[in-house]
Structure 1
Amino acid sequence: MRLLLLLILLCTLVFALDFKEAKEIEEKKGVLKALSSYRVLAKRDDTEAIFRLATLYLQGKGVKKSLATAKTFLEKGSLLNHHKSTYYLGKLYITKKSPYFNEKLAFNTFLKAANDGYAPAQNMIGQFLAAGIAVDKDYKMAVKYFEYASKQNYEDAHCNLAFMYATGKGVFPNFGRAHQFAKDGVKNGNKKCVKVWKTYNLEKYDDDKGWKFNFYTKPSE
């Protein structure tokens, strides 16, 4: 009878476990103690636990590094529409040192999250289009994707738009607008913004006073 009650209690505790509690176990007792909890949650399709397991195996933190295991968890998270999992899966495909390097597959993976409105993936698609990676160069479409991400205040997208306006790629050249997009990133030490700022001497240009900011922030058609 006692054994049965103990089993019931253990089952209750296991099913009551959530990601926050599993993370606390990791913080207090280490990765190895938390692994079983993360795995239980992963079997219940907890996307945060799935992603945490993926990052642990990607980094080799507390476990033996395994890109294959990480990829398996990222694929599962992506199938459950966890955008971070999809994004990191794309990064695995775009990393040249990865055994899974595949630019076309990376593009399609990022596109999945981008079309769901995930800003980092939208910014990445913009970069693919601007550089002609896996697809033909399309500066105008690149600007569109940078704008999608920028409207969510994704800083790298601001920097990319600054570059596009400074060089006139996909848009009319406008150094005032480039200045406006880059200045906050420069203050924050964003390397991409700093590079554009210095390369095109954006400090000497004033903000684009003729730019109606509310037009930019309206949802894109």
Structure 2
Amino acid sequence: MPRKTFLLISLIALFFSLTACQSEKAKDIPAEKKGVEYYQQKKYRKALPLLKKSADSGNAAALYYLGLMHRQGNGVEKSAGKACQYFLKAAEGGYKEAYLAAGLCYRKGNGFSRDDREAFRWAKKAADETGESGMKDENRRELAVLLGDSYFAGDGTVQDFPKAARWYEKAAELGDTRAQGALAFLYCSGKGVLIDREKAKYWADKAVSRKDDMGEYTLGRLSLLDEPPDMKKAVYWYRKASDQRNPWAQQALGEMYEEGKGVKRDLAKARYYYGLAAKSGMEEMKKALAGFEERHTPKKPA
């Protein structure tokens, strides 16, 4: 067969192959739309086969809705792992509503290992490409908390307190208790924002109404800034926060017992609270414990 004829036949075959693929995908668009329609009508048994058919051809929207069904247990067995696998495929397929879902999966480690870098990447992508205006309040809150936590702790990105404060403020205004407590701490400590005791107390009061440990810790710190310092109130709030395993409150109690401020000096209790704080794994808490032990370990005679 002449070479030109062979090339011509190959090109024609490729054309028809691509046309067939496009035609097959086009058939899946109505299936996806009808499947989503059934999903929204809560007719999950009818939605499932249509979404599966569409998802099998790589339809990202269908993959996302299958993820929702598995996450909620609607028409299928509830499975966070399967839900996350669908969400990630949908996100990789460019479905913007799946970006945040994929980020949350990586943060929680559902279906695959926790990966803070990937969690941040997908959350940032959701913020940049989807935008908060295109999200429901619940999703806006989850996005703000994830990004706030990432910037606050430096998980998956460079630690950045000003950015953490901005995202926590968004989440706090949407009613997230943890964000309210974290924001109170930032306003009290001046990390990322100017120190503002009124705002710190405002957000701490909101947070402690739902028993948030960071809000309790912040009220303890604020009590020490009163004129004169209210040591009794500080100890009260630090103990409440410590009972919820707040390492900053535990370290603060360790210092108070070591120095005899607000409580009777008790080195055994000081060591106990320093030890609790160090169990958090935070380097600053480990250093505080090491410093305490160095200060109170009898030195051997030379």
Quickly say closer, same or farther: Cα 1:152–1:25, change in 2 above 3 A: closer
| CA–CA separation in structure 2 for the residues paired with 1:159 and 1:71 | 30
The residue type equivalent to 1:19 in the other structure is: R
Aligned to 2:235: 179
Q: 2:246 aligns with which of 174, 177, 190?
A: 190
1:186–1:59 Cα change, 3 Å: closer
Q: Structure 1-normalised TM-score?
A: 0.64
Other-structure match for 2:182: 124
* 24, 45, 48: which one aligns with 2:78: 24
Unaligned runs of 5+ in 1: 205-221
Secondary structure of the structure 2 residue equivalent to 1:200: helix
* One-letter amino acid matched to 2:181: N
Query: Map of 1:152-171 to 2, 5 A cutoff?
Result: 152-165=210-223, 167=224, 169=225
Match of residue 140 from structure 1: 198
The structure-2 alpha-carbon separation of the partners of 1:119 and 1:77, relative to structure 1 and needing over 3 Å to count, comes to farther
Matched residue SS, 2:175? coil
DSSP-derived class of the 1:195 partner: helix
RMSD value, Cα: 3.9
Structure 2: unaligned runs, 5 residues or longer: 1-26, 36-45, 53-61, 265-302
Which amino acid in 1 is paired with 2:237?
A: F
Comparing 59-68 with 136-145, which one deviates more in the overlay?
Answer: 59-68
What is the rounded CA distance, in whole Å, between the counterparts of 1:74 and 1:126 in structure 2? 24
How many residues of Structure 1 are paired with residues of Structure 2 in the alignment?
Answer: 191
2:199 maps to 1:199: no
Which position in structure 1 is the counterpart of 2:41? none
1:112 to 170, 173, 187: 170
The alpha-carbon deviation at position 111 of structure 1 amounts to: 1.0
Q: Deviations over 1:22-57 (max 9, x none)?
A: 883345xxx5x7522676699695xxx765421334
Query: Which whole-Å CA distance do the structure 1 matches of 2:153 and 2:227 have between them?
Result: 30
Q: Deviations over 1:90-114 (max 9, x none)?
A: 2233444754654433322211111
TM superposition shift of 1:115: 1.8
What's the counterpart of residue 36 of structure 1?
86
Deviations 1:168-190 (A, max 9, x none): x2675212222322333333443
Q: Distance in 2 between matches of 1:123 and 1:100?
A: 22
Structure number, greater radius of gyration: 2
- 2:102 aligned residue: 53
State the alpha-carbon separation in 1 of the partners of residues 217 and 229 from structure 2. 15
Change (3 A) 1:77 1:54: farther
CA distance in 1, matches of 2:252, 2:237: 10
The superposition leaves residues 47-106 of structure 1 with CA deviations (integer Å, 9 ceiling, x where unpaired) of: xx7654213345776278634224224665955223232111122334447546544333
Change (3 A) 1:184 1:140: same
Identity %: 14
One-letter amino acid matched to 1:54:
G
Secondary structure of the equivalent of 1:24?
coil
Q: 1:179 to 1:192 in 2, by over 3 A?
A: same
